Amino acid sequence: MCGIVGYIGDKQAQDVLISGLSRLEYRGYDSAGIATIEDDALRVEKKKGRLVNLENILEKTPLSGKVGIGHTRWATHGVPSDLNAHPHASVNREIAVVHNGIIENYMPLKEELKSQGHIFVSDTDTEVIAHLLNALYTGDIVETVQIAMGKMKGSYALGILCANEPDKIVAVRKDSPLIVGLGNGENFIASDIPAILNYTREVYLLDNGEIAVLTKDNIQVLNIAGEIIDKEIFVVDWDPGAAEKEGYDHFMMKEMVEQPKAMMEALMGRCCESSISFTGLKLNEEMMKQINRIQIVACGTAYHAGMVGKYYFEKFARISVEAEVASEYRYKNPIVDKNTLLIVISQSGETADTLAAIRLAKDRGAWVLAVTNVVGSSIAREADDVIYTNAGPEIAVASTKAYVTQVGCMMLLASYLGKLNGKLGKADAARICHSLMMTPGLIDKALETQEVIKAFADKNHKIYDLFYMGRGLDLYTCMEGSLKLKEISYIHSEAYAAGELKHGPIALIEEGTIVVAMCTQENVFEKMLSNIKEVKARGAHVLAIVQEGHEDIASEVDEVWVIPNMDDDITPIPAVVYLQLLAYYLAVARGCDVDKPKNLAKSVTVE
Ligand code: F6R
């Protein structure tokens, strides 16, 4: 989704902006642009398509100036085009704006501005902001921004330049993330930490309604009334290299390879000497006694982790749990009150629908526990309690290491609550802990099978659809594998509870259709065999994934991948890695842009 970067200092702003934008490419975008000020004149260049298109133009006609703002746009209002790309400037070329979010009342504002003679050249809601600031300009851009904030409805993170006040950048945040980076003789703004990680690790995390005024040597943060706020510096502990490809062809491959380490980080300090604990978690035994309903809410891959979580809560803590996608939860008047524990899962910590679900549940008195990867993200800050997944920065749009750590945290949390409510005995807690500690090694084993998976993908990459089926925990692994495949390879795919196929989807199976049968759960293994026979009878080409000891399934299927023997409860963590790799190699064989799949964004900040 859209990315913002801004710079003021002694360097040429263009270089810092392009370097920052290149680190935001992973968010997904369809145009890019920058604006600088030099000799009190505003300069803007923007281009549809990849950042390289903009860079090619800037190579011929650079924008000089030591203050500037840049943007990568993911189209919402208006098609991807040069004109709709940001920055947007006022007609008198005095004010330029980059914007993440949506101005909900942009139509009435636009009509009013048009009636005052403003001429619009784009279809965007953002252009309205540039004109509005121009119309309201009092000679003081900070004061003007404060007035404009009273007129705009919706969500916005803004970077603003004013040619009359060339020594400052103004940044504003309302319901869309924005940070300010503190440098030495230079300062930065960004929508995401990786954009400025090469320059500084010290940041202010802006809160809703806050305005930051940056000069080269100073940063002032104000509230909407114009009062100065004392902000705490947040020190980012990510290593800049963590946001680089480090020799891998794709971030996705690098992040899959990092999964054993990510799991270790997620478990560290929480799973030791056969017991599970969460330092810093406010939710305690007393509070749990008041909770009579648990809901898990998330989107996409995080929702799949939520489904696995529901299974664990019911198994280990014997608590009934509802799991729902955030975009449905928030619009259906959910039953949620002060006795509800709402668990939200989000890699980015910025997903708009998940944030809205938190606000709804909090308004009704629920206790909100967030499981997220990004420290200081909006979701982490708005929740009552946080468990960090500690996976390190995830850059590829397709989530991999964040997912396995989310599942790991769900298993830990379910066991922890089972311990609190007395439903999980010591021996089981010790078993879970021990099994979880095996997952890094098991993921390593999965990664060692890459050649086999690649060969399968190279042979089958021309397929136009692929089915996954599984039972119990395997179903959620299938759903996640299917989502991964769709998003990066564009192959149509379905994931079904194996017992459901005969109720409809089996009609789609024909000669040669590939069906991945995930068979890691001992209690339903025989049932899976029956389902395999059903699809084989309709001509399916079946790839079965089984634990060691079930190799003899080979006589029933076309291909078998044998995974190490493990506790059935932890299979969602190592088993999904085989499906991530399958999606990856199919996408590579089809020549797809694995890290930047079409139409998708890393951080979905629109509803
Ligand atoms: C798919 C993927 C998405 C996200 C979803 C929620 O690989 O990453 O489905 O899981 O957009 O995002 P977060 O976890 O940031 O809330």
What average pLDDT does range 456-467 have in this prediction? 95
CA distance 318 to 337: 21
Question: Which of 283, 302, 304 lies closest to 294, judged by CA?
Answer: 283
Query: Residues lining ligand 1, judged by CB closer than 6 Å?
Result: 299-302, 346-348, 351, 354, 398-399, 483, 487, 603-604
- Residues whose CB falls within 8 Å of the CB of residue 25, separated by 6 or more in sequence, listed in order: 3, 50, 51, 72, 596
The answer to whether residues 399 and 262 touch, using CB atoms and an 8 Å cutoff, is no
Kindly report, residue by residue over 584-606, the tens digit of the pLDDT: 999 999 999 998 887 766 666 66
Pocket probe for ligand 1: among 299, 382, 580, the residue whose CB has the most ligand atoms within 8 Å is 299
Does 240 have pLDDT greater than 70?
Answer: no
pLDDT, position 607: 66
CA distance 438 to 445: 11
Q: How many whole angstroms from 301 Cα to the centroid of ligand 1? A: 5
- What is the identity of the amino acid at 393? P
Q: How many whole angstroms from 398 Cα to the centroid of ligand 1? A: 8
| Ligand 1 atom closest to residue 406's alpha carbon, by position in its atom list | 14
Cα–chain center distance at 584: 18
Q: How many whole angstroms from 597 Cα to the centroid of ligand 1? A: 13
Residue closest by Cα to atom 11 of ligand 1: 300
Active site residues per annotation: 2, 602
Confidence at 310, pLDDT banded by 50, 70, 90: very high
pLDDT, position 237: 77
Which domains does the chain show, CATH number per domain?
Answer: 2-242 (3.60.20.10), 249-447 (3.40.50.10490), 450-589 (3.40.50.10490)
Q: How many whole angstroms from 596 Cα to the centroid of ligand 1? A: 14
Q: How many whole angstroms from 378 Cα to the centroid of ligand 1? A: 15
Does 138 have pLDDT greater than 80?
Answer: yes
Residue closest by Cα to atom 5 of ligand 1: 300
pLDDT, position 602: 66
What average pLDDT does range 496-502 have in this prediction? 94
DSSP per-residue codes, 397-451: SS-SHHHHHHHHHHHHHHHHHHHHTT-S-HHHHHHHHHHHHHHHHHHHHHHTTHH
β-pairing, 465-470 vs 514-519, is: parallel
pLDDT, position 604: 65
Instruction: Kindly report which listed range (55-69, 165-179, 233-247) carries the lowest average pLDDT score.
Output: 233-247
pLDDT, position 40: 87
Instruction: Kindly report which listed range (52-56, 67-71, 246-250) carries the lowest average pLDDT score.
Output: 246-250
pLDDT, position 484: 97
pLDDT, position 340: 96
Q: Establish how many alpha carbons lie within 13 A of residue 310's alpha carbon, considering only the half-sphere containing its beta carbon.
A: 23
Highest mean pLDDT among 12-26, 157-171, 416-430: 157-171
Instruction: Kindly report which listed range (10-14, 91-95, 169-173) carries the lowest average pLDDT score.
Output: 91-95
Which residue has better confidence, 481 or 289?
Answer: 481
Pocket probe for ligand 1: among 26, 301, 403, the residue whose CB has the most ligand atoms within 8 Å is 301
Residue closest by Cα to atom 7 of ligand 1: 398
